[in-house]
Structure 1
Amino acid sequence: MPLSRRSLLTSGAATGAGLVVAGALQPAAALAAPATPAHGGSRTRLFPPLTHTEGDLLALPRGFSATPVAVSGSTEVHDGTGKVVGATPERPDGTLVVAGPRGYRLVQNHEASPGSAAPVPFVEGTVYDRGALGGGCTVIETTRQGARVSEWVGLSGTISNCAGGPTPWGSWLTCEETEAKAGTGGLEKDHGYVFEVFAGAPTDQVPRPIAAWGRAPHEAVVVEPSRQRVYLTEDASKPTGLLYRWTAPAGYKLRAGIADHLGPDDGTLEALAVVGPDGGILPDLAYVTAGQIGRPFATRWVRVPDRHARDTSLRKQFADGAVTHSKKLEGAWGDRRGMYFVASFAFAAGDLPADATPHDGQLWYYEYATSTLTLVAYYPYNPLLHSETLDPETGLGRSLDLAFDGPDGCHVSPYGSLVLSEDGNTANHLLSWSRETGAQAIARNLVVQERTAAGVPVYSEMTGPCFSPDGRVLFGNVQEPGHVFAINGPWRTYLG
């Protein structure tokens, strides 16, 4: 029989309810982590070069194809009963894919704010703040080939839903990248929270914040398999962001419907402090460069004084040198042993300390058992990629699909390898990454967002890479003007 959120609260299965969105979903306990620790996918092979023909929206390896799933402002969104309430919202971002009755269901963020041209529509049962018509989540149903079936609202009345993360039971945790407070710009409630969203009907949703995890410009979240700890990245400036850890009260384990049963002051919220070679705290992750790839750093965790940021932002509550900051702490995704997260870049004045080294991206791995942090990939600062007059299609030449910058989204695939999405300065890709092969381009955005005064094309970032749980289809987005794609091909040949 169809499973509602209420069934999930006791059974641990994913949700599916409502007239149009009916149908039982497969159990989702295995969705949060691959079967083995994600340390690169030992059978990963090299992909063919990217190719495309005129009119294509993505460049892909030979043997792969992309199917449009949703287009912002164009494809229809309904209320869960079949009534159309608007169009696909703008700026698709972080995404979770779970099994569905017809194939798959995507729970997808929209990094939109009040005043957006294509906001997430208000639908009863999904609204957090009626003063914040902008961001939120939609749920997209597809076939097993990734063909669109329908789309409905999962969460509305939130702001700048960037990334997030899966739970062990198959729901999606969506993060607001904002610190906006009630009373500003017409807002009725405070923002900067994490919300849980289910792949079911609007009546299955819990549009309430998980206040215990803190109020900050959160980017992504990872739940430990133990269900007793949660890690959150923060994308912020002046000062730059922190990595946070929430620890549950003794004997408590997270379960579906987090906001229903977790009090605002439950557990402990802490910020990361990385211990340097001299025993002192590294003030910024930018001090770690390519020469330290593979070296584990010890860490400490420092308690956050006021998790609700009543008067002072979380990252501003610490004395200088007490915790470790980083510019652009973005996507994160966990496996059984630990979590990967990215620092997208740090190269401009104010991005990093004056004596630290600029970079175009870092990929980190935090191991739960040892509490160590290891740099596993590094993108050195490349001035060529920062030229405002460089046409990516012609100026990069042979480097077009070899020179990468700005890793942003992060996803551990069912094969154990990673998929990263770029928010770079020139070409933007989806990348396959493993410890054996490093980074490989598996898709490149060909949709021109705009052109500079010199006529140079500007390409939007790619966002939200996520495989279907069976590894058959990779879903990904071009954020502007807002395209969602299903990418089919022989993934198992190269990753499995």
Structure 2
Amino acid sequence: MSETGSTTGSPATRRQMLARSGAVGIGIAFTGALSELFTGTAAARNLGHRGYGPLVPDPAGLLDLPEGFRYKVLSREGDPLRSGEGPVPSNHDGMAAFAGRHGRVHLVRNHENRASGRVPVPAVEGLTYDPEGKGGCTALTLDHRGAVLSERVAIAGTAVNCAGGPTPWNTWLTCEETEDKAGTNGYTKDHGYIFEVDGADPRRTGAVPLTAMGRFQHEAVAVDPGRGVVYETEDAFERPFGLFYRFLPHKPLGGTGSLRAGGRLQAMRVPGVPDLSSIQETGARFDGVEWVDVPDPGAAGTPIRHQDFGPRGITHAQKLEGCYWGGRSVYFVSSFARSAEGSAGDHYGQIWRYDPDRRRLTLVIVFGPDTDIQLPGESPDNICLTPGGGLMVCEDGGGAQHVYGVTRRGEVYAMARNRQNTGTPEDPEWGEFAGVAFSPDGRTMYVNCYDPGTTFAVTGPWRG
């Protein structure tokens, strides 16, 4: 995620100028049918609020929130892990929250460290895949009051752990956003896999790559809780861009062992649409979506997106990132597309909805600065549904970095702003947000600042 960069061209430049001059008129400009995002969700009946008011500058210079909200820092990179295994790793990324016993919450947090990670995930016997991998996950356990009880390594020796997704059986699927093979960047094993992590008991899942789910630049996953099908996004950095996949497990919804039992990996083909960025009109609908078996899921010789899918080809898209299940559909995000980099069209972010029952793909939302250059929402990344209805969106663009809320009525509001300046007073820089998630009781929002790695718990007068 950290290498997405800011959107090029004059809109992004103006955005950075506005942020650095202290302008407060922020928001997201978009078009689309917001109601589609929440169709079939219990929370859909309780939507429509206008947000929580303007952000209040934080005297501590960490996190600006609306009045009435407060934050607690749960963990910061470089501090000692409570387990004594080493320092808290850097590059906090995707994250999920799971219910534990006696009101406890288990957080599983990715660390997107590359071969030269600033603070690597400490190697722990029995939990390390590749001794030369610097990425992985850490797990925090919180008590019923939100206090940190433990913090430890959940998996180590992986690489570029970007996003992932929770399973219906309360484990986390952590995704490697790389295709590096053994011998590259000092690695001793191939990378580009998904690993399953149990935040309550990491040794139960260990460090086993789920090879049947494909070896590619993984970003995020979402699990159909009825069928057990796993949907996967690919964030490829160059042409041909990534694909949208589904994995059909041989033993769906069977717990930890189900995904290890293997299955079929398929890629989405939208007839007549080789590149999703060519579609610009919200509400555009495509029936008869096809799923094509991946010739070589392990990508032994050729990356999957380069493989031969037959004379009709396959459907690509630039910057496929966030992915989640809502109602009876899976939603996935394209953070941006740039024709100058090889896409068929330009946009500042799309949200797509796939309905497996109807085999229908719909373009639900298009982000962008076209309606008001003073409100240039761009590059949506991690997304989660809120307990009271609506979405929380981690923005990954240029200038100031925010978590935005989106209501069903299409109203957008700033929920949080990162105040940790990693640049200089004259040329400030702010790390992106990632891993937004809510506690099982809906009373706490957890979110990461990527750099410097910081995990926050946000409480306050949440509606619903």
CA positional deviation for 1:129:
1.2
> For 1:449-486, what per-residue CA distance to the aligned partner results, in whole angstroms no more than 9, with x for missing partners?
2249xx22111110000000110100001100111100
1:313 equivalent to 2:303? Answer: yes
Other-structure match for 2:254: 255
Q: Label 1:384 to 1:294 Cα distance change in 2 as closer, same or farther (>3 A).
A: closer
CA positional deviation for 1:259:
6.9
Where do 1:228-267 residues align within 5 Å?
228-236=228-236, 237-249=238-250, 252-258=251-257, 261-263=260-262, 267=263
Other-structure match for 1:10: none
Other-structure match for 2:443: 472
CA positional deviation for 1:87:
1.2
CA positional deviation for 1:204:
2.3
Report if the CA contact (8 A) 1:407-1:420 is conserved. Answer: yes
1:294 equivalent to 2:283? Answer: yes
CA positional deviation for 1:68:
0.6
> For 1:67-120, what per-residue CA distance to the aligned partner results, in whole angstroms no more than 9, with x for missing partners?
111101124242xxxxx0111110111111012346311011110122322111
- In structure 2, distance between residues paired with 1:187 and 1:411: 33
Q: Label 1:446 to 1:380 Cα distance change in 2 as closer, same or farther (>3 A).
A: same
- In structure 1, distance between residues paired with 2:146 and 2:87: 19
Which stretch of the first structure deviates more once superposed, 194-203 or 463-472? 194-203
Q: Label 1:300 to 1:172 Cα distance change in 2 as closer, same or farther (>3 A).
A: same
1:85 equivalent to 2:79? Answer: no
Other-structure match for 1:9: none
Report if the CA contact (8 A) 2:43-2:387 is conserved. Answer: no
1:56 equivalent to 2:61? Answer: yes
> For 1:114-154, what per-residue CA distance to the aligned partner results, in whole angstroms no more than 9, with x for missing partners?
2322111111221111232x100000122344333321011
Correspondent of 1:303 among 287, 293, 299: 293
- In structure 2, distance between residues paired with 1:41 and 1:242: 34
Higher RCO, Cα 8 Å, sep 6+: 2
> For 1:240-292, what per-residue CA distance to the aligned partner results, in whole angstroms no more than 9, with x for missing partners?
1110111234xx423222377414xxx321111223xxxx2x12111122xx3
CA positional deviation for 1:293:
1.7
Report if the CA contact (8 A) 1:40-1:436 is conserved. Answer: no
- In structure 2, distance between residues paired with 1:50 and 1:287: 36
CA positional deviation for 1:318:
3.6
Correspondent of 1:428 among 401, 409, 413: 401
Other-structure match for 2:143: 143
- Aligned to 1:258, what secondary structure does the other structure show? helix
CA positional deviation for 1:160:
0.6
RMSD value, Cα: 2.4
Where does structure 2 lack aligned partners over 5 or more consecutive residues? 1-37
- In structure 2, distance between residues paired with 1:322 and 1:38: 39
CA positional deviation for 1:332:
0.8
Report if the CA contact (8 A) 1:97-1:105 is conserved. Answer: yes
Q: Label 1:378 to 1:120 Cα distance change in 2 as closer, same or farther (>3 A).
A: same
- In structure 1, distance between residues paired with 2:361 and 2:167: 22
> For 1:167-226, what per-residue CA distance to the aligned partner results, in whole angstroms no more than 9, with x for missing partners?
011110110001011122332211111111001234323310111111001000111112
What amino acid does structure 1 have at the position aligned with 2:293? R
What amino acid does structure 2 have at the position aligned with 1:378? V
Other-structure match for 1:270: 266
- Aligned to 2:212, what secondary structure does the other structure show? helix
Q: Label 1:419 to 1:410 Cα distance change in 2 as closer, same or farther (>3 A).
A: same
Other-structure match for 2:222: 222
Which stretch of the first structure deviates more once superposed, 108-117 or 311-320? 311-320
- Aligned to 1:54, what secondary structure does the other structure show? coil
Where do 1:126-165 residues align within 5 Å?
126-132=127-133, 134-165=134-165
- In structure 1, distance between residues paired with 2:138 and 2:308: 37
What amino acid does structure 2 have at the position aligned with 1:76? L
Of all paired residues, the percent bearing the same amino acid is 41
Count matched residues. 422
Q: Label 1:261 to 1:417 Cα distance change in 2 as closer, same or farther (>3 A).
A: same
Structure-1-length-normalised TM-score: 0.80
Other-structure match for 2:276: 285
Q: Label 1:322 to 1:469 Cα distance change in 2 as closer, same or farther (>3 A).
A: same
Other-structure match for 2:423: 450
Q: Label 1:190 to 1:64 Cα distance change in 2 as closer, same or farther (>3 A).
A: same
CA positional deviation for 1:433:
2.1
- Aligned to 1:376, what secondary structure does the other structure show? strand
Other-structure match for 2:3: none
What amino acid does structure 2 have at the position aligned with 1:268? R
1:490 equivalent to 2:461? Answer: yes
Report if the CA contact (8 A) 1:283-1:321 is conserved. Answer: no
Which stretch of the first structure deviates more once superposed, 112-121 or 476-485? 112-121
Other-structure match for 1:191: 191
Q: Label 1:213 to 1:437 Cα distance change in 2 as closer, same or farther (>3 A).
A: same
1:65 equivalent to 2:70? Answer: yes
Q: Label 1:423 to 1:260 Cα distance change in 2 as closer, same or farther (>3 A).
A: closer
Report if the CA contact (8 A) 2:369-2:377 is conserved. Answer: no
Other-structure match for 2:12: none
- Aligned to 1:87, what secondary structure does the other structure show? coil
Q: Label 1:336 to 1:382 Cα distance change in 2 as closer, same or farther (>3 A).
A: closer
Report if the CA contact (8 A) 2:168-2:253 is conserved. Answer: no
Q: Label 1:89 to 1:35 Cα distance change in 2 as closer, same or farther (>3 A).
A: farther
1:342 equivalent to 2:346? Answer: no
Report if the CA contact (8 A) 1:216-1:309 is conserved. Answer: yes
Other-structure match for 1:125: 126
Which stretch of the first structure deviates more once superposed, 422-431 or 167-176? 422-431
What amino acid does structure 2 have at the position aligned with 1:239? P
Report if the CA contact (8 A) 2:439-2:445 is conserved. Answer: yes
- In structure 1, distance between residues paired with 2:428 and 2:41: 40
Report if the CA contact (8 A) 2:115-2:186 is conserved. Answer: no
Structure-2-length-normalised TM-score: 0.85
Q: Label 1:482 to 1:382 Cα distance change in 2 as closer, same or farther (>3 A).
A: farther
- Aligned to 1:448, what secondary structure does the other structure show? coil
Where do 1:348-359 residues align within 5 Å?
349-353=340-344, 356=345, 358-359=346-347
Report if the CA contact (8 A) 1:123-1:202 is conserved. Answer: no
CA positional deviation for 1:489:
0.8
- In structure 1, distance between residues paired with 2:402 and 2:120: 26
Other-structure match for 2:31: none
Correspondent of 2:350 among 362, 383, 389: 362
What amino acid does structure 2 have at the position aligned with 1:489? G
